[in-house]
Structure 1
């Protein structure tokens, strides 16, 4: 059931509603913004108007609109208008307001229009989806993510832990769960800017290979590897994980890649991993999940502006497909609150570096990141989304080499 709007709403025609003393004000500044809202009800229309600057949110910084979004989502239930409501809108506003206008340039094509780029999760279409999100600007990501350049959930020993320390703890927790030792071989799938690869090489003396579909990430990572003097142990390649031919890895980490490969492709993905591991080798899969195992498409705003073709499902489905690929699941952990904290820090970084970020990528793109990160934080806080670690071994003839009790410390 919808409740009265908890913030002040004003529009270009002088109309207004909501409490005058609200600390937050939503201002519809243009007729184009109204058309966005009417022609794409829900989060897509809101996102279009906000990213274009036609819908202004006052009282919060655009790099972190968390407080206002949280207030609105606590009081409203968004739904599409009924046919009768649409008819009344048409009569009152006129048909001209219902003629779609071009969306902001930051918007990716719809799912149907992406068919021209190939079948969903084909090599070419996946490469384009990754390019869209991750090749925005390395300089922009450096400002938002911080020195770690880790674009995945950190692990906070305490709520007061810094983001950098929490990201280092994340990489080390993965390393401890994989029981990495000097001289071993690690494959990091979807390695991003090479944080796990460099951590494993530097701290554990592991020969680490990372692969990413983002050319910008690979270039940045290879430079960082060279600067740290890790060339003899670490390598990052710009390539699809499906093209990795080497086998016999002692460990494989997948940190934030599963969200991009498609739920229907899980069996093939985990079969690929099983084939690349040596007997008794370990897998650590780290990914965003839903709070249940019911499949539903990603919301329109996230699909068009953030992660084209991204898909989520619950940890139960992931565990089932890991097991069906022939791997033995040894441990599972939900780190949901940690991602809410991570997003809080990223938003603060965006706020602190707002002018430089806008100069680097434009205000529209910066608005996209602020809106999606603040909204995602709310999703993790409310248990709409979670973050799971699944640790598994390639058990052969009943031998897993997994100890009677875990040797890794929390």
Structure 2
């Protein structure tokens, strides 16, 4: 570990991650029992070897305790399969006309001519999209509960001097439980109404309520337990990504103008947007991918090692932690030419069609890759296109930075302030 161990890491995670990759190699040891996978190959290896390196066993929204007990493993497998069916790229493409109007509304409502802290309205817009995608006409009733779930998550992950045992009911954990119960109770009413009426819906919840040939009908608790986390995930991580994207539109006006030119072909009525229109935004999607490469919102992924195993040149002892670092893997010159340069064109071939220049881990990979990757890319691409089409963005004048970087739970532009001027 270069430069002083864990205390140095806590002060400057990004800087130490870069130095570790440059000075110590593809895998390096942060401290005893903590390893960092810094390059593409070991990152992919860890994420694909789910048995050797499983995800941490403490979900942010653990199943609520009930007298009926937790859902069985096969019921959880059915719930996961149903979610994945509703979030696959084909399913997202079929509903582009529902996503586009809300991205357009966000752009239309941006106050012009003054500096605006933009992440709160971005998060609200993406929450509306995500919650509607999951619950359709029931989204308005569930959106306030989703906002409270997000707040509970923010409270829970705030830095603390103390590391409390998982069983201890701290105020933050009690607040999380209250919000999770409130969301679950509201969702339970929706599930029972849909099942009793027979109108299950065409959204993701409706997909989960349909019986499958293999598993039959999902029990109510298996449906309810799986949705608090995915509800928050539909807008939390995309909101972090959107901050970096909007900042790059402000800093790279040439790229923003090219996005705006593509977006001019979108329908005047956003509800008429189709998958064909989305395919007509290759440079916009390339810009989104390039920002996600440089600033992956989930820049550090934690995996456990329950048994002794090998990783690169290390013997990883049982009980160790492996930190997978997409941030440094994406800046590996073996994967990307000029890796620190913002270059959306690297994602396009000579004809302007999509290309894949190197390993891309912004959404993870392997068995625990992000379920909502297709939804997130659609949301971010349309939000970027609609914003650039209407406005030229700029940073506030003056010596002070317009945002602060946070790395604790994700890579985000906290307090980001930008100014929008109507594009001439």
Given the two structures, how large is their TM-score scaled by the length of structure 1?
0.26
Given the two structures, how large is their TM-score scaled by the length of structure 2?
0.26
Higher strand share: 1
Higher helix share: 2
Task: Determine which structure has greater relative contact order: mean sequence separation of CA pairs < 8 Å that are 6+ residues apart, divided by chain length.
Answer: 2
